[in-house]
A and B are shown apart, each in its own frame.
Chain A
Amino acid sequence: PVTAGSIVVPFGHVIGNEKWRGSEIAQKLQGKVRLVFEDGLGLVDFHLSNRTCILYISEADLVAGDEFKRRLVRFRNASSLGGIVIVERTQISDQYFLAVQKLVVLELGMVLLPVANQGEASQLITQLVSFYVREQSKEQSSNPFLRKQRSQLAEPAVFRTVQQIPGVGKTKALLLLQQFGSIHRICNASVKELEPVVGQAVAQQIHSF
């Protein structure tokens, strides 16, 4: 049966599929993360957190044919977990890489990360896990690529926007904003209302912009 459901992963741990016991990847992970093996993980090779798991595609899988594709699609249909696909990109498997990337990233919307061998995979997994640990601890904002909520005063931007109206420089922009208060009200001012502030010619220009 397809097992791709969620699983509780303790902090800083990796839960590995029993079939990886004794592998190079497992040996290199040990000591860096706490690796626990479990039976019955089904399609998943490693669970990194409650929400994220890894599906590993070896050079041999790629060469053998399309079985790995069926596995990925089955995982995607059966699980709501975030799946990271690690693929062995070697001289032999390189010819398949583009097609795999297209399937995993563009069709299935999963993450794909190439490695040259199991050693590189263990380094990558270690980095991913250390990220979860850092995120859970106090360094919430330690990821420099995350969206930052910045609240900035709008005044400088509004001042610049009004200066983009033809005929309006710094002085007139300020006068307009002091008189009308917002871009919306400047846009809705009649020529009659604009004239005393910026003169006849510019009032026309603003009105027809």
Chain B
Amino acid sequence: KPCAPAPLCVLVDSREICSGAEVISSLKAVHGVKVQVCSLSSDYIVSSRLAVERRFLSEFLSPASRNKLAQRIQRLWSMFERICVIVEKDKAKPGETSRFLQRTHNYDATLAALVRAGVRILFSSGQGETAALLKDLALVELRKNAAIRGPTEVEEHKRDLLGFYLSIPNLSHLAALNMCRAFGSIREMANSSPQDLAAGAQLSQHAAAEIHRYLHYGFEAQLLPESPRVPGGS
């Protein structure tokens, strides 16, 4: 079948501009991947269902950063069907010849826990390799028909709309972008069936059903944690 070879696309969290500059430049220059920088809850989004976290090997050696990673991953599970962690070797600091990191009990325990939780793990020796792995992941997702499709920029007049969709719980930035494109107005979105929501936002049936329920949820003002005062109300 004929298909125009659209470039692979990856969404990158804006914090990665500082910490992963070489990942981003190599994605663009070496692999020809289209990179869209936005504010994400994961480091990378490579498909409609896969989020990727990039972590330094040194972070796995102590328990403190493990808790931080665990919190992050739990949050990502509410938005994504699949999660991958790329364990990247730390850069040698100037003056250091090579960093030898002693494998710790905590490192093995963290790996075991990630494996048991169904989180995919990839190992990288540096930012260049991490970029190649991200491209490979995006390619596999393309083959599984889950690649990021269509433009990822938001027109100026749709910024407010994006903000509206982003406020829906457990909706990823990519799903919100897809919704901006798929629905002409919030009325059209709100009147969509769970099936239409799933198709429009490129979400699983389960996630789409959750959104459908959210849109129809009967609001009770007394259940707000701090009840705002109603001006002129009784």
Give the B-binding residues of A (Cβ under 8 A).
84, 97-98, 101-102, 105-106, 111-114, 116, 120, 123-124, 126-128, 130-131, 135, 143-148, 150, 153-161, 163-166, 170-171, 174-175, 177-178, 181-184, 187-188, 208-209
Contacts and interface: CB of A to CB of B under 8 A. Distances in A.
Interface residues of B, number: 57
Contacts of A158: 214, 217, 219
Contacts, number: 152
A178 B221 contact: yes
Given A114-B123, A187-B190, A120 B220 contact: no
Contacts of B17: none
A165 B164 contact: yes
A124 B136 CA distance: 27
B15 interface: no
Determine the main DSSP class of A at the interface with B.
helix
A50 to B, nearest CB: 14
18 contacts: A105-B121, A113-B121, A120-B103, A124-B108, A124-B112, A143-B117, A144-B113, A145-B119, A146-B77, A154-B219, A157-B168, A158-B219, A164-B163, A174-B230, A177-B221, A182-B216, A184-B191, A188-B191
B219 A166 contact: no
B150 interface: no
Contact of A148 (B77, B105, B132, B187): B77
Contacts of A106: 136-137, 140
A102 B123 CA distance: 10
A127 B224 contact: no
B195 interface: no
A145 B113 contact: yes
A182 B217 contact: yes
B167 A155 contact: no
Contacts of B203: none
Contact of A124 (B111, B121, B132): B111
B112 A127 contact: yes
Nearest to A120: B103
Given A116-B103, A143-B116, A183 B169 contact: no
A145 B167 contact: no
A144 to B, nearest CB: 4
B136 A177 contact: no
A178 B228 CA distance: 12
Nearest to B140: A106
Contacts of A130: 112
A166 B163 CA distance: 10
Nearest to A132: B116
A143 B225 CA distance: 30
A145 B219 contact: no
